[in-house]
Amino acid sequence: MRKKGKSGRNADTEDLLQLRDAALQLGISFPTIKQWIYKKKIRSIQTAGGHHRIPRIEVDKLLFRTRGRTEKEREQVVRRVSGRNQLVGRVDSVRISGLMAEVKISIGGQQITSIITATSAREMQLKAGQTAAALIKATEVMILRV
């Protein structure tokens, strides 16, 4: 049974995006996202009125692909930085306090928290809802704005 939130709506509906919003976040056109739906490349949910909505987690799964049109282009983007373990996701929150900043990124339903300098967070102009990458390097996680 699905839980309902305070608004009385299903909790699942809170994370549904309109097609134009999903396309914008993925850096693709509206017709392209429609084709992806028809070809089952991306999962959508139809409303009672027949409109498609894209679950945010579906968009999050595809964010890494927006960093280049081809596999080769995506590899080149990764090679700009020395680390290879980059996880692309969405910034959930940025909390700046004194010299440090706490950045939380949602990646495919998981959350990664990184502590970086406040200056770095300001220079990257990190804000909730933006696309960013967590760069995993040994036991440290660095944040990279994409």
**How far apart (Å, rounded) are the C-alpha atoms in residues 85 and 10?**
35
Q: Are 56 and 14 in contact (CB under 8 A)?
A: no
Question: If one looks up domain 11-67 in CATH, what number appears?
Answer: 1.10.1660.10
Span 41-84, pLDDT tens digits: 899 999 999 999 999 888 877 876 655 556 666 555 555 555 56
Buried b (16+ CB within 10 A) or exposed e, 33-58: beebbeeeebebeeeeeeebbbbbeb
pTM passes above 0.85: no
Instruction: Give yes or no for residue 4 having a pLDDT over 50.
Output: no
Averaged confidence pLDDT in the chain: 80
Q: Is 118 helix (H, G, I), strand (E, B) or coil?
A: helix
Q: Where are the domains of the chain?
A: 11-67, 78-145
Identify the H or E element spanning 60.
Answer: helix 56-62
> Which tops the pLDDT comparison, 1 or 30?
30
Question: If one looks up domain 78-145 in CATH, what number appears?
Answer: 2.40.50.100
